[in-house]
Structures are given as structure tokens and as C-alpha cells.
């Protein structure tokens, strides 16, 4: 086909990797057909042959042979005298096919074709990317960090598709540089300004669930079911698991021999502390397990208000509450109950170590008392406020609050 080197002009469109060759052919045919119909009219009969791999295209104009004096539309009909110049054996009523020369078109028309083609292919590729990742929502993807910004990280998958990890979907201790490989779960796919935005997450409970599926074959195979996951990303997570096969220990399988399975997940989550517990429909037992590693003495359940009163020995209270209060917070999220912790005291007990009140009294305050030899509740209650103000660097208001907390212990 005589043209202005069509292969070089349009071969760049082969780079649209996410478009099937058959779809590419349809688009090319459609774009050229529309352009040719504008030139030759809506009734024109054309054959368009596209070779996407070579970037090659052929266009043939088909016209019906009629008597010389009966030609009404030269774009759909050809005079008999002109037809036999092409092939002497032609007869009236037959069809003549001739190649359309691209050199017949002006530079402006060629440019219009290129722009139209690029626009259609870009729209189609965006649509293909959106559909592809819409089906992958909830899956883990591995991507290479491309750009690190203050509010988000841009990454590229193995096909060069751009993925976004917003700051609020990153684990607080996450630190990535350009070129690093990262794993995250596809959280959602949005359309913004006609462009697909693929949002990733490393803080979603789904990410942790997918990591369990990758690390624990029994979870992937369905022998162990993950009932619920709650997280404070980078700090602590609780995972309730259940197995319908009595021969399978769900907690043991998830943790692995000497923690071999859970360690890989913990490393991926920047040393997030993960508690795996057996799920049960027994509410008291479920709450007790959820507050692990603390050991519960007794529990009062108020199902109507979704509240639970939990009683523990003094040395278990700080374990139940956990560092930063995360343990009791996550236990409440996991069970759906608002949990109130109560210290169970022995009325005959002579004293209580001051460290047992770390959930109510700040550590630096406790250390101030211990520095002057006041390391038990009664050692403080036996002194006057004035005396303690003199002996410590604490303010009177702080000392009064500590006394209030300690008195409540013995009341």
C-alpha cells in the first residue's frame, strides 16, 4: 500500500500492552473506516485489513461495474471502460477492488487519524486497567516503589500500571525508597478525572488475612477459617480462627513450629504483635481468650447493652489492658463488647505493689514514689500529702489523685 510510511506512523500504538490484538484491530478498523467514510461518503464499500504486530494496514475500495453512462456515484460505482483497464475480463455487475493510497490524504487528515486513534486506545486501556483491578480488589499485589511523596507512595506493577499507597494506608513504621519492592492489598479502584486510581493498603485487616492465606496452607485450603481480624497497624492485631476438623489445631497451625509461620507475617507488618485465638460462641470464654495473655478470674456479661465486666488478679490487670491500652481495645473490637476491667483484691491482703496500678497511674509518677522508697499502696497512704510534696518532685494535685486511686483499691 503506497502511503506515508504507515508502519512508522502507527507502530507506536503496539505499546498499549493491556489491549488484546483482536480489540486493537477493531479500533484501527473503526478509526480508518470513519475517516474514509467522511472522504468517500457513507455508502462506500471498504475492506480494511490490519496487521497489529507489524503496524501494517491495507484499505481496499470496492466498486460495482456499470455502463459508462450510468455512473452516479464514483465512490461506489466504476465505469466499464475504466474497469477493463484494470482487468480485461471484468464484466458489468462485478465488483472491482482497488487499494486506497494514503498519499491521497493530506497531512492534516493523517494527524487527525493519529489523534483519534490515540484517544480511543487510551480510553480503552484505562477501561481495561479499571476492570482488571476491580476484579483484584482484596488481593495482594507486589509492586516496585516508583516515587515517594509526603502523602502517598507511587508504585508500578510488573506491567507498568501505576498503583497508589496513601499515607493513611501505610503502617506507621513503613519506610520505602525508590526501587524497593513492597506488598500490599488492593483496597479499591476509583475513577478520577477519567483516570483509574488503584488504591493499595497495608493497614487493612484484609491484608493480614491474605498474608495468613499465603503463609498457612490450612487457611488457604479452607481447613481453617478466619472469623475476624482487628488491628492497630504496626502495634497489635488479634485474629480469631476456627477449624471444623477436630484433628486440626487452628492456633497451632497458624503460629507454626516455634512460630515459623507467624514470624514471616510479623516481619511484613513491621513487628506488629499478632495474637491468634480460638473462636467460640461462648461469650465469656471468647472474651477471656480475647484478653490474652491476661488470665481472667470471672466475667459478668450484659448482652442487652453489649458490656462485659471482667475481674482479674492485680498482677493481670496491666496485661489485660496492654501497652497503650491496645489489648483491651482490640479485645472489645474482636468480641463486640465494651469491656470493663476490675481488679479483684483480697480483703485480708496487707498491701499492693505500686506497679500493679500502672494502668491508672503514669509510670513516671510511680518512679517518683519508688525513688523515695514508697513502692506500695499503703506506704503512700500512711503519709500525709505535705510530707510527700516535700519528699518528691510531684505536685499536690498529682499526689491527691494517686491517693484517690489507692484508696479505691481498699474500699
pLDDT digits (tens, 9 = 90+) for 278-305: 999 999 999 999 998 999 988 999 988 9
pLDDT beyond 80 at 101: no
Query: Residue 105: pLDDT above 80?
Result: no
117 vs 239: CA distance, rounded Å: 51
Q: Band the pLDDT of 249: cuts 50, 70, 90.
A: very high
pLDDT at 4 over 50: no
Shared domain for 311 and 265, answered yes or no, is: no
Count CB neighbours of 28 within 10 A. Answer: 23
Burial of 185 (0-12, 13-18, 19+ CB in 10 A): buried
Q: Are residues 301 and 240 in contact, defined by beta-carbon separation less than 8 angstroms?
A: no
Strands 273-278, 236-243: pairing is parallel
pLDDT value, residue 229: 96
Do 80 and 149 have their domain in common?
no
* Closest residue by Cα to residue 66 from 85, 95, 92: 92
pLDDT at 407 over 60: yes
DSSP string, 250-279: HHHHHH-GGGHHHHHHHHHTTS-EEEEEE-
Residues 71 and 158 in one domain: no
Structural domain span for residue 65: 6-122
- Model confidence pLDDT, tens digit, residues 123-146: 888 888 999 999 999 999 999 999
Best mean pLDDT range from 91-100, 272-281, 336-345 = 272-281
What's the average model confidence in pLDDT over 29-41?
74
The CATH number that applies at residue 339 is: 3.30.300.20
Domain co-membership, 262 together with 295: no
Q: What is the mean pLDDT of residues 80-89?
A: 83
Whole-number average pLDDT of the chain: 84
Q: Determine the Cα–Cα distance for residues 334 and 313; give it in Å rounded to an integer.
A: 23
Q: Indicate left, alpha or beta for 71 from its phi (over 0: left) and psi (-120 to 50: alpha).
A: beta
The answer to whether residue 319 scores a pLDDT higher than 70 is: yes
Report the percentage of the chain scoring pLDDT > 90: 40
Asked, for residue 1, whether it belongs to a domain, the answer is: no
Same domain for 90 and 191?
no
pLDDT above 60: residue 55 = no
Residue 322 lies in a domain: yes
* Of the ranges 219-233, 305-319, 396-410, the best mean pLDDT one: 219-233
Q: Which of 300, 298, 293, 411 is nearest to 352 (CA)?
A: 411
- How many domains does the structure of the chain reveal? 5
Report pLDDT digits (tens) over 325-380. 899 999 999 999 999 888 776 555 567 788 888 888 888 988 888 877 777 888 88
Q: Between 198 and 93, where is the model more confident?
A: 198
270 near 234, Cβ under 8 Å?
Answer: yes
Residue 129 lies in a domain: no
Residue 25 has pLDDT above 80, yes or no: no
Quote the CA–CA distance of 68 and 379 in Å, as a whole number.
Answer: 123
Q: Do 215 and 191 share a structural domain?
A: no
Q: What percent of the chain has pLDDT over 70?
A: 89
**pLDDT higher than threshold 90 for residue 11:** no
Mean per-residue pLDDT, 261-269: 93
Q: How far apart are CA 98 and CA 74, in angstroms?
A: 13
pLDDT-derived band at 45, boundaries 50, 70, 90: confident
DSSP bridge pairs for 198: 189
Q: Which region among 55-69, 164-178, 187-201 has the lowest average model confidence (pLDDT)? A: 55-69
- Residue 155 within any structural domain of the chain: yes
Domain check: are 159 and 214 in the same one?
A: no
pLDDT value of position 359: 81
CATH number at residue 169: 2.40.50.140
Q: In sequence order, what DSSP letters do the residues of 118-173 get, joined into one string?
A: HHHHHHHHHHHHHHHHHTTTT-EEEEEEEEE-SSEEEEE-TT--EEEEEGGGS-TT
Is residue 131 in a domain? no
Question: Is 286 inside a domain boundary?
Answer: yes
Q: What is the pLDDT of residue 88?
A: 84
List, as own/partner pairs, every contact residues 134-139 make where C-beta atoms lie below 8 angstroms and the sequence separation is at least 24, other chains included: 134/189, 136/186, 137/186, 137/187, 137/188, 137/189, 138/185, 138/186, 138/206, 138/210, 139/185, 139/186, 139/210
Same domain, 14 and 96: yes
In a shared domain, residues 360 and 373: yes
Q: Does residue 94 form part of some domain?
A: yes
Residue 165 has a pLDDT of 96
Report pLDDT for 9.
46
Same-domain pairing of 266 and 216: yes
pLDDT attached to residue 5: 41
pTM: 0.66
**What is the domain-level CATH number for residue 115?**
3.30.1480
Asked if residue 3 has pLDDT above 50, the reply is: no
Per-residue confidence band for 35, with pLDDT thresholds at 50, 70 and 90: confident
In-domain check, residue 382:
yes
224's CB contacts (< 8 A; 6+ apart) are 216, 218, 241, 242, 243, 248, 250, 253, 254
pLDDT the model gives residue 351: 75
Domain boundary among the residues 324, 344, 364 is at 344
Amino acid at each position: 500500500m503506497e502511503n506515508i510510511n504507515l508502519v512508522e506512523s502507527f507502530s507506536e500504538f503496539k505499546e498499549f500492552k493491556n489491549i488484546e490484538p483482536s480489540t486493537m484491530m477493531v479500533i484501527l478498523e473503526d478509526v480508518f473506516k470513519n475517516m474514509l467514510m467522511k472522504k468517500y461518503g457513507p455508502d462506500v464499500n471498504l475492506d480494511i485489513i490490519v496487521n497489529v504486530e507489524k503496524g501494517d494496514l491495507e484499505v481496499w475500495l470496492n466498486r460495482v461495474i456499470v455502463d459508462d453512462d450510468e455512473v452516479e456515484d464514483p465512490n461506489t460505482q466504476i465505469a466499464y471502460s475504466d474497469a477493463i483497464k484494470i482487468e480485461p475480463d471484468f464484466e458489468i455487475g462485478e465488483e472491482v477492488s482497488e487499494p486506497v493510497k494514503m498519499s491521497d490524504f493530506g497531512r492534516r487528515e493523517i494527524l487527525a487519524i493519529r489523534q483519534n486513534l490515540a484517544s480511543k486506545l487510551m480510553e480503552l486501556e484505562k477501561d481495561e486497567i479499571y476492570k482488571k483491578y476491580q476484579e483484584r480488589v482484596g488481593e495482594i499485589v507486589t509492586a516496585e516503589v516508583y516515587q515517594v511523596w509526603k502523602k502517598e507512595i507511587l508504585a508500578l506493577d510488573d506491567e507498568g500500571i501505576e498503583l497508589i499507597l496513601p499515607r493513611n494506608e501505610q503502617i506507621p513504621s513503613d519506610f520505602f525508597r525508590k526501587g524497593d519492592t513492597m506488598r500490599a492489598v488492593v483496597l479499591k479502584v476509583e475513577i478520577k478525572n477519567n483516570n483509574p486510581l488503584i488504591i493499595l493498603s497495608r493497614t487493612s485487616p484484609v491484608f493480614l488475612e491474605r498474608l495468613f492465606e499465603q503463609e498457612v496452607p490450612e487457611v488457604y485450603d479452607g481447613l481453617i477459617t478466619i472469623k475476624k481480624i482487628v488491628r492497630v497497624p504496626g502495634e497489635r492485631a488479634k485474629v480469631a480462627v476456627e477449624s471444623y476438623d477436630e484433628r486440626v489445631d487452628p492456633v497451632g497451625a497458624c503460629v507454626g513450629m516455634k512460630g515459623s509461620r507467624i514470624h514471616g507475617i510479623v516481619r511484613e507488618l513491621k513487628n506488629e504483635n499478632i495474637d491468634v485465638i480460638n473462636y467460640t460462641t461462648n461469650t465469656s470464654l471468647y472474651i477471656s481468650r480475647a484478653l490474652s495473655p491476661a488470665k481472667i478470674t470471672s466475667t459478668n456479661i450484659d448482652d442487652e447493652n453489649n458490656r462485659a465486666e471482667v475481674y482479674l488478679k492485680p498482677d493481670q490487670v496491666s496485661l489485660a489492658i496492654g501497652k497503650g491500652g491496645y489489648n483491651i481495645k482490640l479485645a472489645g473490637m474482636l468480641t463486640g463488647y465494651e469491656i470493663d476491667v476490675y481488679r479483684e483484691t483480697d480483703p485480708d491482703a496487707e498491701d499492693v505493689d505500686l506497679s500493679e496500678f500502672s494502668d491508672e497511674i503514669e509510670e513516671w509518677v510511680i518512679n517518683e514514689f519508688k525513688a523515695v522508697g514508697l513502692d506500695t499502696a499503703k506506704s503512700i497512704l500512711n503519709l500525709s500529702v505535705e510530707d510527700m510534696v516535700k519528699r518528691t518532685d510531684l505536685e499536690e494535685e498529682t499526689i491527691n489523685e494517686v491517693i484517690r486511686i489507692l484508696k479505691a483499691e481498699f474500699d
